[in-house]
Amino acid sequence: MKVFDISEVDDIEKTIKFFKDHAEQPKINELKKQYEVTEHPVFDPVNRPDRNIMKEDGQSLDRIEKVNRLGLPFQKKIVNASVSFIFGNPVKVVCQTQSKQEVSLLEAIKKILYSNKVDSFNRKIARDLYRATQVAEIWFAHGEKTDPTHKDYGFDTPYRIKVLKLSPWEGDELYPYFDKYGDMTAFCRAYSRKVEGKEISYFEVYTDEEYKLFEKGDKWEEVEAYDNPIKKIPIVFAQEAQSDWADVQTAIERLENLLSNHAEINDYHANPKIFVQGEIGEWAGKGEPGAVIQGELGSKAEYLSWDHAPESIKLEIDNLFKVIYSFTQTPDISFDTLKDLKQGISGVALEMLFMDAHLKVQEKREIFDEYLQRRISVIKAFIAWMNPGSKALLDKLDIRSEITPFMINDMGSVIKNLIEANGGKPILSQRTSVAKSGLVDDVDGELELIQQEEEAARLIEDSNPTI
């Protein structure tokens, strides 16, 4: 559809308002304050003021004493763990090809993904989704029709397919527009750029038929427009209702306050205090060795010690740590946790430890399965545009993206279990074992050396007489 057909008005300003009114924006400033540890409430001097120390007269200020402020970067830990578990392993692009032409087209798609460093790009996309609640990527053809051609994709083309991440975290405002059937019929982005020291606002709109770019000077004006060559919106968009840490934000703030207050208590009790009963005649000098304190008859002096630190504080701190890890499905893989595993750090123990994180991956796949499938669809549209003769085959290709959650492989346990299940017999040939080791480049040459060493050892054994 045309841009103005969707908004049903020809006025640029009303069209921009139409698209903006149909998409709610995340509270990005609030999310950034929660994510950046130095912006947490515990560092706010209004929320947690420093201590005013008054002079002995109680009227005038002697000094300002800084209070303890302990911030915890739990938001980053939660997001980074989620990203690592869903995209710690490369996404597999799989397809049941039936001809050389289909294999060639599949390789073209993989080449485009590889050239755009898709493994690290996936992690960047997930990170911005989890912290900003919205993210998008735009695919575009880089180059001109008159540029020299290349065959990197298996056919002659002057273009290279590139991708760009769009994120509210980096200042983009994303406005997807969906029709009554839930199909995205337009995608808009608002952003600003400095031009000759002046901040200029832009608003761009993508539909399946065209692209338009508007610039705001004294008023909104159309500065660029062209037909969409692939006849598909070249955008992949994802959003979720809240940030990854939203459910435990209050628990994090409470924990930071508790630890900061506890640090104040520790500071107060760190320096020894002397309780005096009766009258002390003479105090020992500072630093005097073998010091003696003289007191009147019946006087008493002793150090005060904090024998009973509040157990309720320790209990609440421990519970808050558990709440934060548990309700964000983030595994606690600290050294203390791992050393307490009763089964040791085995494959089974790690599977149990990471079970909740893997369940979270399955939940996130509700977003990313569709997201990755949309990406493949957009890339196929670009290939069909660059190589029109391939469109029919591309439409038939059922290409899927498979997400494999991150897991530390305990190959020793796996091989042991398989050998036991196989009646104690080998499960791999010697050649396969050497290849799987990853320690050698020339597998056949290594096997030949092993056989020579075995033959030499056998000759030595045969040459020794049995006594």
Per residue in 146-158, pLDDT (tens digit) is 999 999 999 999 9
Q: Taking residues 228-237, what's their average pLDDT? A: 96
Residue 274 is predicted with a pLDDT of 72
Q: Is residue 319 part of a domain?
A: no
Number of neighbouring beta carbons within 10 Å of residue 206:
21
- Mean pLDDT along residues 13-22: 94
Q: Which of 261-270, 294-303, 309-318 has the lowest mean pLDDT?
A: 294-303
User: Comparing 421 with 112, which gets the higher pLDDT?
Assistant: 112
Q: For residue 64, tell me if it sits in a domain.
A: no
109 inside domain: yes
- What distance in Å separates the CA atoms of residue 407 and residue 32, rounded to the nearest whole number? 30
Q: What is the model's pLDDT at position 129?
A: 98
Residues 363 and 449 in one domain: no
406 Cβ neighbours under 8 A, 6+ residues apart: 84, 85, 86, 88, 89
Contact 427, 419 (CB under 8 A): yes
- For the beta carbon of residue 428, count every other beta carbon within 10 angstroms: 13
Q: Could you count the other beta carbons within 10 Å of the beta carbon of residue 176?
A: 21
Does residue 227 belong to any structural domain of this protein?
yes
Q: In this structure, are 89 and 158 located in the same domain?
A: yes
Taking residues 159-174, what's their average pLDDT? Answer: 97
Is residue 133 within 8 Å of residue 26, measured between CB atoms?
yes
Name the residue with tokens 């692009």: 93
Conformation bin of residue 329: beta by default, left when phi > 0, alpha when psi is -120 to 50: left
Instruction: Indicate if 393 and 434 belong to the same structural domain.
Output: no
Q: What is the pLDDT of residue 249?
A: 97
Query: Does 109 score more than 60 pLDDT?
Result: yes
Q: Is the pTM of this model over 0.85?
A: no
What pLDDT is stored for residue 291 in this prediction? 60
Taking the alpha carbons at both ends of the chain, their separation in whole angstroms is 94
Question: 275 in helix, strand or coil?
Answer: strand
Relative to beta strand 273-277, strand 210-216 is unpaired
Q: Tell me: do 396 and 444 sit in the same domain.
A: no
Q: How high is the pLDDT of residue 440?
A: 76
193-208 pLDDT, tens per residue? 988 888 999 999 999 9
Model confidence at 417: pLDDT above 70:
no
User: Do 16 and 94 belong together in one domain?
Assistant: yes
State pLDDT tens for residues 347-379. Answer: 666 777 788 899 999 999 999 999 999 999 999
State the pLDDT at residue 340. Answer: 65
- CA 241, chain centre distance (Å): 17
Residue 317 lies in a domain: no
| 18 lies in the same domain as 89 | yes
Dist. CA 41–CA 47, nearest whole Å: 6
Q: How far apart are CA 467 and CA 460, in angstroms?
A: 15
Would residue 283 count as lying in a domain? Answer: no
For 124-142, the pLDDT digits (tens) are 999 999 999 999 999 999 9
Gap between the Cα atoms of 146 and 33, Å rounded: 48
Identify whether 65 is part of a domain. Answer: no
In a domain, 79, yes or no: yes
User: 439 pLDDT band (50/70/90 cuts)?
Assistant: confident
Q: Do residues 210 and 158 share a domain?
A: yes
Residue 237 predicted with pLDDT over 90:
yes
Q: What share of the chain has pLDDT > 90, as a percent?
A: 60
Residue with tokens 């997400």: 403
Query: Domain range holding 364?
Result: 3-35+73-245+357-402
Q: Are residues 24 and 118 in the same domain?
A: yes
Considering the domain architecture, whether residues 99 and 146 belong to the same structural domain is answered as yes
Choose the most confident range, by mean pLDDT, from 3-7, 70-74, 341-345, 406-410. 70-74
Instruction: Tell me the range of 49-63, 113-127, 440-454 where mean pLDDT is highest.
Output: 113-127
Residues 277, 274: Cα–Cα separation, whole Å? 10
Domain count across the chain:
2
Nearest CA among 250, 33, 239, 36 for reference residue 130: 239
Most confident of 119-128, 269-278, 298-307, 407-416: 119-128
